[in-house]
A and B are shown apart, each in its own frame.
Chain A
Amino acid sequence: MKTVYVKEEVCIGCGLCEVYCRLEHSRSKDLIKSFKRESQQPMPLLRVERREPISFAVTCRHCAEPHCVYACITGALQRDRESGIVTVDGEKCIGCWTCILACPFGVIRQEKGKGKIAKCDLCLAKKIPACVDNCPNEALVYAEVQDETLS
């Protein structure tokens, strides 16, 4: 499957990936509006870890063995059998947070206002995810890896 990988050695921890992730998942898709005016401000669905001199972005791995999906008590989390993308059905998620406890990378976010989780969807509608597209250093790459679990 295709997913986002990180080159830690060239990540400068600028956080633009977080900014563009938020923008892409905002209602207005307008930088100023989405950050300053939208009542339900989207949160970045990936996270930059910074620990001098190390920094790297952590994005959902869309795991072949998705512990979050196995742990989901409502059936809201599913991994697509063809694309391998793990998505959450906002209608079904009740914010029980069991998936958060199951995720090895700590990348599932709590949208507390809505009482639901939020997670990376690889920018479903875009050819290249916004984080990769807007990384100034090519520290994020979108790459395809063979995955036998997909049909």
Chain B
Amino acid sequence: MVQSSHRFKYLIIGNSAGGIGAVEAIREVDRPGTLAVVSDEPYPAYSRPLIAEYLAERCPLERMLFRPSGFYERNKVVTFLGQKAARLDLDEHTLALESGEEIRWQKLLLATGGSPIVPPIKGAGRRGVFTFTTLDDAKAIDHYLDSQSRAVVIGGGLIGLSVTEALCRRGVAVTVIEMKERILNVMLDEAASAIEEELLRRAGIRIITGRTVAEISRGAEDAVTGVTLDDGTPIPCELVIVAIGVRPRLELVASTGIKINRGVIVDHYMATSHPDVYACGDVAEAYDIAYGECRLTPIWPNAYLGGRTAGFNMAGKMTKYPGGIAMNALNYFGLDAVSAGIVNPPDDSYEVLSQRYDSTYRKVILKKGQVVGLVFVGNIEKSGIICNLIRDKIRVADFKQALVAEDFGLSLLPRERWQPHLEVPPSALVQAAETEPAEELVAGE
């Protein structure tokens, strides 16, 4: 039943990294075009990774906001927050909200992100079992905790360890259960995983790898009393966090005929198989530079950049997506670690260079003479230079050893990598640093 109808030139579903990237791009190109954002979360766009800060120290919402207050007014964005998009009609160019309202659109962006994967575990799906992907999840856990709580976190990836560190900062005793043989097995290599694991253990966190949770047991009033692992080991706890990962949130597109694989398939312009519908972020399979193919890379920077590209194209400014790279930065318990691209080479057609210096570990992965991946632990300040060799697809065969040198820096790269960016371009209008500062100097002495 249609209660009321709205009309917008641009409609964005999802008010997070991808959605905001698109809003900002659209407004750079088209100020007057009508624009609306729908999200089933009731908050202004907030930084999703910061839900860990909320849980750790109840970081107030104002400090979690991705954009300053007034953002929507300034950008003339009509918001439908706390409203779920229920049905998409591509022929009619309409979106029905669960509230019954209907929105007509000319260009649509799917920035619906991902939803947490919850495997069928006996005893799950009731009190004391949580996921950790939204602010409301963090609030629910915060509410449930008390100082004596013990937690089992299922999943030793980025989300699992984010919630683990936050809980640990709250004084909760945490056991992490990771099905694979090591934690952070997607974003780190073996050596870096081992460093992180040691660090977490020293912080008092128990880590069990190669196991899964078979059952969640409950006592009086349905309260969680513990979990049993697949080898029969019981672990007592009061709460369980399922943090196995996210999968693209496809429910809206599933029956529309828009082409999907694991996520929504998009072209170099972030357009889906329907010419008026775009997709970005965790829901989309966009071009990945390191892999040279489209795939899911569910990280914040890619969502923002994909949304920005989609926004330009929606507003008529043809813009090619430069491609994303899986890039991650960690600093659990004060140890810095970053990785990008292909971290665990799948076969021996890759070349691996690695070095250790005191507390620093560096690894660079090459394929066909180009950098496709990196892992840095400890001193990470120059990691961006290498990450951008991936982005720019630079042939590094002639200077590859320099990439893992202790004193690595721009000057170890061929001149053409730095000089054009640093030296005064011929078109520049030079502000006379000669005259003014000289005068100042004289005056000052």
A residues contacting B by CB (< 8 A) are: 2, 5-8, 47, 49-51, 54-56, 58-59, 61, 67, 70-71, 73-75, 91-92, 94-106, 108-110, 127-128, 132-135, 138, 140-146
Contact = CB atoms under 8 A, between A and B. Distances in A.
B419 interface: yes
B394 to A, nearest CB: 11
B68 to A, nearest CB: 8
Interface size class of B (residues with CB under 8 A): 35 or more
Given A50-B411, A58-B410, A105-B410, A92 B301 contact: no
A77 to B, nearest CB: 11
Given A100-B384, A143-B428, 13 more contacts: A6-B422, A58-B422, A70-B305, A73-B47, A97-B338, A98-B301, A100-B381, A102-B327, A104-B421, A106-B409, A132-B437, A142-B430, A143-B430
A102 B387 contact: yes
A144 B409 CA distance: 26
Contacts, number: 162
Contacts of A146: 427
A49 B409 contact: yes
Interface of B: 17, 21, 47-50, 53, 63-67, 300-301, 304-305, 308, 327-329, 331, 336, 338, 340, 380-385, 387-388, 391, 409-412, 418-419, 421-425, 427-431, 433-434, 436-437, 440
29 contacts: A5-B422, A5-B428, A7-B424, A8-B419, A8-B422, A58-B409, A59-B422, A70-B308, A73-B17, A73-B48, A73-B49, A74-B47, A75-B47, A95-B331, A97-B380, A98-B329, A100-B383, A100-B384, A101-B338, A101-B340, A104-B388, A105-B384, A106-B383, A106-B385, A109-B381, A133-B433, A141-B424, A144-B431, A145-B425
B437 A56 contact: no
Nearest to B437: A133
B336 A98 contact: no
A94 B53 CA distance: 9
Contacts of B17: 73
A20 to B, nearest CB: 11
Nearest to B71: A75
Nearest to A91: B63
Contacts of A128: 431, 433, 436-437
Query: What 9 pairs between A and B have smallest CB-CB spacing?
Result: A104-B388, A103-B384, A71-B301, A143-B428, A49-B411, A5-B424, A51-B411, A97-B329, A106-B382
Contacts of A5: 422-425, 428
B411 A142 contact: no
A74 B329 CA distance: 13
B329 A61 contact: no
A33 to B, nearest CB: 18
Contacts of B411: 49-51, 54-56
Contacts of A75: 47, 65-67
B6 to A, nearest CB: 28
A101 B64 CA distance: 22
Contact of B427 (A54, A100, A145): A145
A134 B436 CA distance: 11
Contact of A141 (B50, B340, B412, B433): B433
Given A108-B384, A110-B336, A142-B430, A74 B50 contact: yes
